Amino acid sequence: MFKTMILFRPVFKSVPVMLALLALNACGSDMRTMNDSHMQKLAYYFAEHEPGEPLPRGWRRLDGAEINYRFANETYAVYSIDEDEQLLVMHLYDDGTGRLEADDDRERCEWNSMVDQLTIECDDTDMEWHVFTNGPDLIALDLDEDEYAILRKRPGR
């Protein structure tokens, strides 16, 4: 009787831990989709917002120094506003180099910020963006396509 009681007790203690881990795993967000309701609200607003129209109260365009501060040595996922999915991941380093990852494709890049825009030049891709913020959120306006994208900082990689 004592042997079964001793074996049962450690198993019983680990059950809540396992349940907690399962709950955390189920609640974790997939970085490739905008399942976060806040991001979906941003996407909805900017899908309806025409480039050139005044931004909502509290939003402003970043200047070159702020772009450098926010993007150097950081990793951001870029999400399509229209398609509700991740377009690419960009890793930008403080020496002006970087890497773009989209699906199974990786490109080495050079980046800089001039006056008030972020410019990224890669082998097959060139992008010029104005970057807007309301504090915690970042939205990019692709100057070639006149389309917005949501930028979401990713954990260090």
Tell me how far apart the alpha carbons of residues 90 and 29 are, in angstroms, rounded to a whole number: 19
Asked if the structure places residue 113 within a domain, the reply is yes
137 belongs to a structural domain:
yes
Give mean pLDDT, residues 113-129: 92
pLDDT 10s digits, 71-82: 999 999 999 887
User: Is 83 part of a structural domain of the chain?
Assistant: yes
Question: Over the stretch 74-106, which tens digit does the pLDDT of each residue have?
Answer: 999 999 887 767 889 999 999 999 999 988 899
Domain of residue 108, CATH code: 2.40.128
Number of domains in the chain: 1
Helix (H, G, I), strand (E, B) or coil at 150: strand
**Could you say which DSSP state residue 14 is in?**
H
Quote the CA–CA distance of 146 and 35 in Å, as a whole number: 24
* pLDDT of residue 28 exceeding 90: no
Residue 62 included in any domain:
yes
Residue 109: strand pairing partners: 98, 122
